[in-house]
Amino acid sequence: MEFTCLSKGDGFHFPPCSMLNLCGFRILLDCPIDFSALTIFSPVPPAFSGRFDVESSQTEPVVRKRQRIEKQLDANDLIFEEPWYKTVKSLHLWDASFIDIVLISSPMGMLGLPFLTRSKGFAAKVYATEATSRIGQLLMEDLVSMHMEFRQFYGPKDSGCPQWMRWEELQVLPSALKEIALGKDCEELGAWMPLYSAADVKDCTRRVQTLKYAEEACYNGTLIIKPFSSGLEIGACNWTISCPQGNTACISNSIFGSSHAMEFDYDALQGNDLLVYSDFSSLKTMEDAENNTNNFGPVTGTSSNLREEDNHWQEAAATLLKNDGTSEEAEKLAFICTCSIDSVKAGGSVLIAIDRLGILLQLLEQLSIFLESSTLSVDLDHVPVYIISSVAEKLLAYMNIIPEWLCKQRQEKLFSGEPLFGHVKLMKERKIQVFSAVHSPELLKNWQEPCIVFSPHWSLRLGAVVHLLRRWCSDQNSLLVLESGLDANMALLPFKPMEMKILQCSFTSGIGLQKVQPLLKTLQPKSLLFPKDLRCPIKFSESNKIYLYHENEMLCIPRMNHSTEIEIVTDLAYTFKVKSWKQESMSRLRGELFMEHGKYRLLSGSKTANSQQQRLLLHWGSPDLEKLLTELSKKGIDGSIKQVNGGAIDGAEPENPATTLLVHHPSKALIEVREACTVITAADENLASQISDAMDSVLGGI
Amino acid sequence: MPIECLVLGAGQEVGKSCVVVSINGKRIMFDCGMHMGYADSNRYPDFSRISDAGDFNSALSCVIITHFHLDHIGALPYFTQVLGYKGPVYMTYPTKALAPIMLEDYRKNMDRRGEEEQFTSQHIEECMKRVIAVDLKQTVQVDKDLQIRAYYAGHVLGAAMFYAKVGDAAIVYTGDYNTIADRHLGAAQIERLQLDLLITESTYANSVRDSKYNREGEFLKAVHKCVAAGGKVLIPTFALGRAQEICLLLEDYWERMNLKVPIYFSAGLTIQANMYYKMLVNWTSQKVKETYVTHNAFDFKHVQTFDRSLINAPGPCVLFATPGMLSGGYSLEVFMQWAPCEGNLVTLPGYCVVGTIGYKLMSGKPTRINLDKDTQIDVRCQVHQLSFSAHTDAKGIMDLVKFLSPKNAILVHGEKPKMAILKERIESELGIPCFYPANNETVSISSTGHVKAHASDTFIQRCLSPNFKFLKCGVPDKSASGSKCTEGISRLQVVDERVADSILVEQKCKKAKVIHQDELLLMLGEKEHEVKFAYCCPIRIEKSVQTGSKDLSSTDNQHLGLDKRSLLELLSVKLSNKLSEGNIQDFGEHLQIESFHVSVCLKDKCSHRTSNSIENQSELVFFCCNWSVADEKLAWNIISIMECCTLNTT
Ligand SMILES: [Zn+2]
Ligand SMILES: [Zn+2]
Ligand SMILES: [Zn+2]
């Protein structure tokens, strides 16, 4: 088995990406886009913003003067061209046609997939859960539609390398931008891609084989692939892959308790031969918290403290889910709501640029409760909530028909006949209004301020959010709610001077460090692949093997189980002729070998009917000639031993003497016996066969 | 280990489906239904047969419910809450969501009929709380050894066929299914599985249905005619299933014909049911699914709630009222009011249980029905039989059995005489042993087992390396019935001769091992002793004139060296003409076919010649042959060709 972590990713929107070689099959885990890199581009300049036009003083932004002196970044430093999108660098070092399988764990992990599926020779089988595939498709469609604005603004471009990618242009980029464009090691330019088309998206989703929760997919009869919920997002999953060489579980970013998506199903990942742990989400928190501590690898623990811990691990595992952080999350949501209400009260509008579906759905529910219960102002009940996105309507409708992927509390709603999410009712009451674009006539007709707007894209470079930011950026009563993982300074450059209040929120996007150890103890994998960068105790058993990996280093892991198992259908096994030799009993196999559902199986095949061929094919030992004579005479065959030098008859070397047995009756035959070989000469098939039978009884054979 | 199948209900009848199957030490109850035709203890399966002591928790591994119809779930609250079964209960998400409505509806009507209450609302609620909902195709590990999986069954929303596997033994229990998609549901769908047993419903064991569209047309015509003339249409249905299907049909028709006549649902209950259907739209037909964003098909525009005051209100209307079959309750109440009027119409489902008013209406054309000894109803209204069924017909059952090709089949949920005919067909046409036990009978069948062995790497490598070939098993059975059966699992097959190079070794107290024969000797610590055959075979030569009288068997080496080659070539040609098997390889000095090795023998005396008294040696040339045991048959075949042939030298 081989494993390469191609990218650690970064948070919720940029999940890790890795390549796994299992049983000779190359498996790619996820194919994301790094949207945080999009901030080096300027959003569509304001002249194009239609109704939300704000006077701008920018002139000739595309011309950039060569400058050596680093000064404070400003909006003019950004790249004024149609953006390209940054994918996982190392993925492009692989030939797409060599990939056998792509496993998509979440809608975010799917966004870069069209880059792959449109590349030449790509023929891999792509698996994703039904919900991931559907949500992923909508997000990609939205991306294409938001990007259209750039196309319209910059006009059709020739297919060549864009201006900004030229060396001389890159050289004059401010260092902050250059680092994003080229990467720290200046080798990431190849990771930039022009965006895919709507047709690419269509083709990409067509190729995805969708799976239900815990549905088994059988690849090539050899691998059995199953998705189990990871809790990260609706439809997001971890994978188990079984093959004759053992069972593997792959954990990517997972959340124990969720208020919308089905919980992290870690029980289903128990007891595998290999666990690939690639949840890097705590890396961020670690960096923040331990910037001043020394760098160590994961702590593997001494055996003394381990024993002590062992007594408690079961308890620890039991508390895993209880302390799932949902209450913490709820507090954050409540805080956002409170801040929003405050802004609205002050006459400002609220722009929420959060693209996490779960957070969005919960915010919609919470906000309406806050707006209704706020008694201070009568007007608040009439503050409109707008959702502006080309796919919002479809997404929201879809959210209400996939109870199978929701958390327990939401499923209860199904069983009691209530809508799964609050937005259904709110939309009916027109408390939430959904519009496909910021320029849509219905929106203009209904537009009312102050208001609360949910709109993509969280990078602040695409979508309606750009236009609304331009409109409100100088209003100090308005509020902008951002996601963490975004360099706010860079992201807000085009909207400076920024007077709006800004609230940047981080939400759980993976397994907390303190939960890693109890989780591993619960899962008890025989071997563990763990990121070297995560510094946390991971010793969980004496006998288990731990391999630490680094980004872009291939790790070879010895075969997991030492013996392959084969199943022989009992009916067939009964037909085997059993021979005994000393302690062993043995039989020659018959039938047909199948690789079926990840198992080797011997089934009685069509050709098995030919059972008459029962001659022993392999012999050992040395024949006792006297015994052979007796066996022959039992069959009515008479002969006599004639000790001769082998050379006298057929010119063989004297060192290899043959003992010859001459058969006189029923007809003439000759048996030459040497140390490792006996040759039977007979002109008659029947006689030859009888002699051979006699040989079988004086030699070991099968 | 045999699979034992105890039929507690729906054996040679329709009603109270309940089959308990024991596989490899696990015991699964499929369905836990009640019989609508009985009011006494016969309405429930005889659970005492599962466990005399009433200890169901240790007697059963789990209970699986296929769909929300009462004949499949009606006894569940009684079984879990009154009899105290505490183990896991599995059903699909829609079934879990919708079953309480059915049960509650039944319980209420049960009250009205003044029968003894068997379970309460609270029982239903608590029972449903314990149910584990599953998705289609989700592989559920009930415990370490028992695996179950649901497959789409059509029939009603959320109906599923269930696959269960313990160790090597596997079965499928279909519940009710429909192989034809209807207005709101898709067709049953399952993949090819290796099954020891298939337990299938056989409601329409002996009938083949005609086009559903004709029936729908007739129904709509009857309804339209009635309302156009100002009549009232009563559609007695159960809360779920048929109600939504017919409602979709009417909505569509109302829209097309621009009708304004009100459609009523008898209670908020059924409107509530539509809410469930909206959230579960993923479980409906492709057509309905595709439109959910713009318009969820279960958002009925023309439907309004009904209240009692409207029963005698003037003007036409269509009313859906529970329960179906007019077995009591609201629908019967309305029927009593509307039946005497000629202009009205009552539509009845294709199947009504014996003992219900619906059954009486359908058997013959009664003008007067005695409800009880004091009440009589004059029936003057039109009666339309809605004969579109949600069950598969005989062809669909045959297609499914053929597609799954189980080792055995058991028929349940049908009528005895029809089942007998279907059993005959399954046995004679498909060669699959088939049973149709009566209630409380047990059928025992043998199951396939596997011998498990370690396989050595050499064995795997030798068997798998170059000769991969794909064997697509399972031609998809896209038959006229429309049953969609997905492509089976692809298998890799390996050519079998190489399997025969391998040995299964069993030692006491050790797991059996499969090794390649080359590894065997090493393992045994023995030296190989090769046993070979040899024969120096004479072939007649016919000399042509040109070569003169040169004796081929002379000792002129130079001359013979040339001829040795040509003789072999001549032999090669002869053999390739006559030999049907094997591949002749020419190595210059010798020919080889598998292990059969032949070369020209120029010795005067060869030990492999058995007869020294060959006359006229000048016309013979000898070919020395040897071969190993494996190719015995082939070798003698070649030798007989050689002995009979004549080589013509030019
Ligand atoms: Zn049914
Ligand atoms: Zn039924
Ligand atoms: Zn010879």
Six token digits for residue A460: 């602040």
Contacts of B521 in chain A (CB under 8 A): 618, 620
- Chosen for mutation from A595, A670, A696 (greatest number of chain B CBs closer than 10 Å) is A595
**Relative to the alpha carbon of B241, which ligand is closest?**
1
- Tell me the pLDDT tens digit for each residue of A501-517: 999 988 888 988 888 88
Average pLDDT, chain A: 84
Six token digits for residue A433: 């209004």
SS3 category, B318: strand
Q: Which residue of B has its CA nearest to A420?
A: B279
Q: Which residue of B has its CA nearest to A408?
A: B133
Six token digits for residue A5: 């972590």
CB contact under 8 A, B293 and A393: yes
Question: How many Å apart are CA B645 and CA A673, to the nearest integer?
Answer: 32
What's the pLDDT score for residue B544? 60
- B19 membership: H or E segment, kind and range: strand B18-23
CB contact under 8 A, B503 and A680: no
- Tell me the pLDDT tens digit for each residue of A578-604: 888 777 888 888 877 777 777 888 877
What's the pLDDT score for residue B601? 86
- Tell me the pLDDT tens digit for each residue of A2-39: 999 999 998 899 999 999 999 889 999 999 999 999 99
Contacts of A398 in chain B (CB under 8 A): 293
The total of structural domains in chain B comes to 4
Question: How many Å apart are CA A601 and CA B514, to the nearest integer?
Answer: 12
**Closest to B157 measured CA to CA, from B239, B72, B90, B95:** B95
Question: B33 and B70, same structural domain?
Answer: yes
CB contact under 8 A, A593 and B281: no
What's the pLDDT score for residue A54? 38
Q: Residues A77-97: what's their mean pLDDT?
A: 89
Question: B237 and B305, same structural domain?
Answer: yes
Q: pLDDT under 70 in chain B at which residues?
A: 109-117, 210-211, 267-271, 350-351, 388, 464-498, 544-562, 611-618, 650
What's the pLDDT score for residue B82? 92
Question: How many Å apart are CA B403 and CA B476, to the nearest integer?
Answer: 8
Pick the CATH number of A326-505 from 2.120.10.10, 3.40.50.10890, 3.30.300.30, 3.40.50.1000: 3.40.50.10890
Question: B94 and B151, same structural domain?
Answer: yes
What's the pLDDT score for residue B487? 41
Question: B395 and B326, same structural domain?
Answer: no
Number of neighbouring beta carbons within 10 Å of residue A376: 8
Number of neighbouring beta carbons within 10 Å of residue A141: 17
Q: Which residue of B has its CA nearest to A649?
A: B607
CA of B399 to the centre of ligand 1 (A): 20
What's the pLDDT score for residue A701? 85
> In the listed set B497, B524, B551, which residue is the last one of a domain according to the structure?
B524
CA of A595 to the centre of ligand 1 (A): 38
Calculated CA dihedral for residues A279, A280, A285, A289, nearest 10 degrees: 120
Amino acid identity, residue B90? Y
Indicate if the pLDDT at residue A215 is higher than 50: yes
Taking a 5 Å cut-off on Cβ, the residues next to ion ligand 3 are B 536, 601, 606, 608, 624
List of residues 6+ apart from B477 with CB closer than 8 A: B399, B402, B403, B483, B485
Six token digits for residue A225: 């692939």
CB B650 within 8 Å of CB B544: yes
What's the pLDDT score for residue A83? 94
List of residues 6+ apart from B384 with CB closer than 8 A: B218, B219, B222, B345, B346, B347, B348
Question: B467 and B556, same structural domain?
Answer: no
What's the pLDDT score for residue A380? 63
Question: B161 and B12, same structural domain?
Answer: yes
pLDDT band (50, 70, 90) for residue A87: very high
> In the listed set B423, B445, B467, which residue is the last one of a domain according to the structure?
B445
Domain that holds residue B175: 3-208+390-445
CB contact under 8 A, B168 and A567: yes
Question: B294 and B377, same structural domain?
Answer: yes
CB B619 within 8 Å of CB B541: yes
Beta strands B131-134 and B146-152, pairing class: unpaired
Contacts of A213 in chain B (CB under 8 A): 135, 138
Q: Where are the beta strands (DSSP E) in A558-623?
A: 564-569, 578-581, 584-588, 592-596, 599-603, 619-620
List of residues 6+ apart from B585 with CB closer than 8 A: B591, B592, B593
**Omega within 30 of 0 (cis) for the link into A497:** yes
Q: Which fold has domain A2-45+55-322+510-556?
A: Metallo-beta-lactamase; Chain A (3.60.15)
What's the pLDDT score for residue B611? 67
Indicate if the pLDDT at residue A305 is higher than 50: no
Indicate if the pLDDT at residue A70 is higher than 60: no
Question: B170 and B98, same structural domain?
Answer: yes
Strands of the sheet with B146-152, listed across from one edge: B140-141, B146-152, B160-166, B169-173, B197-201, B408-412, B434-435
Question: B551 and B640, same structural domain?
Answer: yes
Indicate if the pLDDT at residue A576 is higher than 60: yes
State the SS3 of A16-47: CEEEEEECCEEEEECCCECHHHHHHECCCCHH
Question: B195 and B166, same structural domain?
Answer: yes
Domain ranges of chain A: 2-45+55-322+510-556, 326-505, 566-603, 619-701
Indicate if the pLDDT at residue A527 is higher than 50: yes
pLDDT band (50, 70, 90) for residue A641: confident
What's the pLDDT score for residue A477? 92
| Minimum-distance CB partner of B489 among A401, A584, A597 | A597
SS3 category, A498: coil
**Omega within 30 of 0 (cis) for the link into A450:** yes
CA angle at residue A35 from A450 to A433, to 5 degrees? Answer: 30
The Cα of A138 is separated from the nearest Cα of chain B by a number of Å equal to 13
CA angle at residue A235 from A233 to A240, to 5 degrees? Answer: 105
Indicate if the pLDDT at residue A607 is higher than 70: no
CB contact under 8 A, A681 and B535: yes
Give the A:B interface size as CB pairs under 8 Å: 264
SS3 category, B552: coil
- Tell me the pLDDT tens digit for each residue of A426-452: 998 888 999 999 888 989 898 988 999
What's the pLDDT score for residue A55? 39
CB contact under 8 A, B607 and A670: yes
Contacts of B168 in chain A (CB under 8 A): 567
What's the pLDDT score for residue A506? 85
Question: How many Å apart are CA A659 and CA A639, to the nearest integer?
Answer: 13
Indicate if the pLDDT at residue A536 is higher than 80: no
Residues of B with catalytic function: 201
Question: B407 and B366, same structural domain?
Answer: no
- % residues pLDDT > 70 (chain A): 85
> In the listed set B524, B540, B574, which residue is the last one of a domain according to the structure?
B524
Q: Tell me, what CATH number does B177's domain have?
A: 3.60.15.10
CA of A403 to the centre of ligand 1 (A): 23
CB contact under 8 A, B607 and A619: no
SS3 category, B463: helix
pLDDT band (50, 70, 90) for residue A155: confident
The Cα of B530 is separated from the nearest Cα of chain A by a number of Å equal to 4
| Minimum-distance CB partner of A600 among B96, B128, B455 | B455
Question: B480 and B368, same structural domain?
Answer: no
CB B467 within 8 Å of CB B522: no
Indicate if the pLDDT at residue A65 is higher than 50: no
Contacts of B135 in chain A (CB under 8 A): 212-215, 404
Contacts of A579 in chain B (CB under 8 A): none
The Cα of A214 is separated from the nearest Cα of chain B by a number of Å equal to 5
What's the pLDDT score for residue A496? 86
